[in-house]
Amino acid sequence: MNNKNIIIVDDEVNICRSMKACLTPEGYTVVSFTEPSSALKSMHDELYDAAIIDIRLGKQSGIKLFEQMCNDKINIPVIFISGNASLDEAVQSLKLGAYDFLEKPFSADKLINTLKNCIEFYHLRSRVKVLEGSQQHDMLFGDHKLMKILRNDICKVAQSEAAVLIAGESGTGKELIAHSIHQQSHRSKNLLVKVNCSAIPENLIDSALFGHVKGAFTGAEQHKKGFFEMADKSTLFLDEIGDMPMSSQASLLRVLESKEIQKVGSEKVTKVDVRILAASHKDLKEQIKLGLFREDLYYRINVIPIVSPALRDRRSDIPLLVNYFINLLCKRNGVAQKSIDTNCYPIMCQYDWPGNVRELLNIVERMLIMGDQKITLSDLPDEITNKKNNVYIDDEVSLKEFRIMMERELLIKKLKFFNGNITQVAKSLAVDRSYLHKKLNQYEIKRNHNFD
């Protein structure tokens, strides 16, 4: 059984019946309509795998129906049929994006084969789109043991259907984690649907999550699919869930409990099969205490918790990420490959990166644009070189890196103490002036370095 849903739109009831009779034994579930408006309504309400549409629907036009489907973003592959359409109409239908055109009368075999190829073709096409999309997402870089544990956890949870709550500071890669879970799950043949919960106005949440029918409220000029329907048989990623208003949380909880949706303005209740991933940079337990997040919803979405580590907790990954971003950005922007002076790494590892990987990515991009062929210490922004925190020593730092860090810290301290007086600094360090100049050049420290 192939378990696919097909919709037929033909003004001749007999033709609908005979197509149904030949497709049903092949395992297709077939519904038919003689009226384009009822067909369009059904396409909004149900999920179809393909549509077979007559070009001439009495006084109405199948092509017009197809155009309306495109406007309403109903993405069903279409096969047109007709006994009396002109060649022009057939060509027009294909130009609009229909999969094929069959001239009546056609054999049962011809219909069955065309339909099978059509569904396979669209399935492959969406798979290619998913793979293209995933290439931008699945690069969860990092060799630190925290990243190894994270990748291992992702691999395990991907195989299950349980809801996952991804916690972690902003910019640590929570969205990448969600994509990675989806890509490794059996739902990956369908697209992951992402919702930014903080961006949906409170009064539109039901319509955004469940969709609405035409005329449900002022401004609802078209039928609209909600995120749950879009994510049917796939994964729904609820990003920034901690920013969702309380009233919206109630609607979300209802659908998570019942696994059913009801479009705004419709009586009909539809089952959905959606896996939930959620993320928040806010501490949801804290939000519960503050009365800003529902405890019952928290337990629904937090079946498996995953924590995305802050960059400062895996500093040894910084050189790896910097190199990865340099390659990525040079390729993406079509510029010649640039490189970085490895003396930059110890300094970059000292910085706390409050914006995490996103901040690192932005800074690398800025240095690539503004700097020369090789990024050097002088290209590092002030907030990184003027760090005032205690020296951080990573588990995996090498002796050479450690020496560079300490020497640099010491030179800056002394220069500050002696107001940039080289003779005094050299004397206090028990080195001669030329050696001190050499070191200052090596670490690109200027005498009038900004010491604040």
Ligand X SMILES: Nc1ncnc2c1ncn2[C@@H]1O[C@H](COP(=O)(O)OP(=O)(O)OP(=O)(O)O)[C@@H](O)[C@H]1O
Binding residue (CB under 6 A) for ligand X from 41, 42, 92, 141: 141
User: Stretches 110-118, 168-176, 224-232, 384-392: which one binds ligand X (CB under 6 A)?
Assistant: 168-176
Does position 139 interact with ligand X (CB under 6 A)? The reply is yes
> Given its phi and psi angles, is residue 10 left (phi above 0), alpha (psi -120 to 50 degrees) or beta?
beta
Q: Contact at 8 Å (CB) between 314 and 144?
A: yes
Does position 57 interact with ligand X (CB under 6 A)? The reply is no
Minimum CB distance to ligand X smaller for 173 or for 211: 173
Does position 281 interact with ligand X (CB under 6 A)? The reply is yes
Does position 168 interact with ligand X (CB under 6 A)? The reply is yes
Minimum CB distance to ligand X smaller for 62 or for 319: 319
Kindly state the tokens that stand for 342.
């490895």
Minimum CB distance to ligand X smaller for 175 or for 379: 175
Q: How far is the CB of 137 from ligand X (least distance, A)?
A: 7
Minimum CB distance to ligand X smaller for 39 or for 197: 197
Phi, psi of 241 (to 5 degrees): -65, -25
Scan residues 234-273 and list those touching ligand X (CB under 6 A): 239
Contacts of 17 by beta carbon, 8 Å cutoff, 6+ apart? 32
Minimum CB distance to ligand X smaller for 98 or for 361: 361
Q: Contact at 8 Å (CB) between 353 and 322?
A: no
Minimum CB distance to ligand X smaller for 131 or for 269: 131
Does position 172 interact with ligand X (CB under 6 A)? The reply is yes
Minimum CB distance to ligand X smaller for 294 or for 314: 314
User: Stretches 56-64, 137-145, 184-192, 209-217: which one binds ligand X (CB under 6 A)?
Assistant: 137-145
Q: How far is the CB of 318 from ligand X (least distance, A)?
A: 11
Please give the Cα distance from 401 to 162 (Å, whole number).
Answer: 43
Instruction: Give the bridge partners for 141, in sequence order.
Output: none
Strand order in the sheet with 29-33: 29-33, 5-9, 50-54, 78-82, 100-103
How far from 195 is each of 229, 231, 237, CA to CA, in Å? 13, 11, 6
* 212 CB-contact burial (10 Å; exposed 0-12 / middle 13-18 / buried 19+): buried
Size of the site for ligand X (CB under 6 A): 18
Strand 224-225 relative to strand 211-212: parallel, antiparallel, unpaired?
Answer: antiparallel
Does position 288 interact with ligand X (CB under 6 A)? The reply is no
How far from 19 is each of 38, 65, 121, CA to CA, in Å? 19, 20, 21
Does position 387 interact with ligand X (CB under 6 A)? The reply is no
Reduce the DSSP state of residue 225 to 3 states and report it: strand
Q: How far is the CB of 352 from ligand X (least distance, A)?
A: 16
How far from 89 is each of 70, 83, 370, 413, CA to CA, in Å? 17, 12, 55, 80
Query: For helices 13-23 and 108-135, what crossing angle results, to 10°?
Result: 70
Binding residue (CB under 6 A) for ligand X from 62, 171, 211, 242: 171
Q: How far is the CB of 140 from ligand X (least distance, A)?
A: 5
Q: How far is the CB of 142 from ligand X (least distance, A)?
A: 5
Contacts of 355 by beta carbon, 8 Å cutoff, 6+ apart? 170, 171, 362
Q: How far is the CB of 268 from ligand X (least distance, A)?
A: 35
Does position 282 interact with ligand X (CB under 6 A)? The reply is no
Reduce the DSSP state of residue 189 to 3 states and report it: coil
User: Stretches 133-141, 208-216, 225-233, 413-421: which one binds ligand X (CB under 6 A)?
Assistant: 133-141
Kindly state the tokens that stand for 452.
């604040």
Does position 315 interact with ligand X (CB under 6 A)? The reply is no
User: Stretches 140-148, 206-214, 287-295, 432-440: which one binds ligand X (CB under 6 A)?
Assistant: 140-148
Kindly state the tokens that stand for 71.
């406007």
Minimum CB distance to ligand X smaller for 49 or for 317: 317
Phi, psi of 372 (to 5 degrees): -90, -160
Binding residue (CB under 6 A) for ligand X from 154, 176, 236, 375: 176
Does position 126 interact with ligand X (CB under 6 A)? The reply is no
Q: Can you give the length of the chain in residues?
A: 452
Minimum CB distance to ligand X smaller for 96 or for 140: 140
Binding residue (CB under 6 A) for ligand X from 116, 214, 254, 358: 358
Residue with smallest beta-carbon separation from ligand X: 173
Q: How far is the CB of 286 from ligand X (least distance, A)?
A: 16
Please give the Cα distance from 238 to 298 (Å, whole number).
Answer: 13
Report whether the peptide linkage leading into residue 319 is cis, meaning its omega lies within 30 degrees of zero: no
Does position 173 interact with ligand X (CB under 6 A)? The reply is yes
Q: Contact at 8 Å (CB) between 140 and 176?
A: yes
Residues that bind ligand X (CB under 6 A): 139-142, 168, 170-176, 239, 281, 308, 357-358, 361
